[in-house]
Structure 1
Amino acid sequence: MLYGFSYEEHEPKKDELDWMRHNSERVQHLFDGVNTRDGESGCGAVAQTLLRE
């Protein structure tokens, strides 16, 4: 069921971003302590992506 929903009826990237936007408190801890290649906060980079897309 989930496979069909994610890949056959919707665009996977859009679904993932939508889920992350609505559940940011559930995924924020995954990026704690993670930095981008240029040394910026991983949490900040993810937040910027969610706001941009």
Structure 2
Amino acid sequence: SPSQNIGWGRWYSLKELENATDGFAEGNVIGEGGYGIVYRGVLQDGSVVAVKNLLNN
């Protein structure tokens, strides 16, 4: 799926983020807060990213 430029970054598909974080694996958790869990991920181009998985409250 094509990426969508939003001016200050870009949107990623759920599949891209699942791949980057090994399916939101517990071993990739780098933080937890009131709004969700933050995972370390590596994108296909090798970029290291932090991905916040927001909680449904």
TM-score (norm 2): 0.32
Of Structure 1 and Structure 2, which has the larger fraction of its residues in strand?
2
Of structures 1 and 2, the larger Rg is shown by 1
Of Structure 1 and Structure 2, which has the larger fraction of its residues in helix?
1
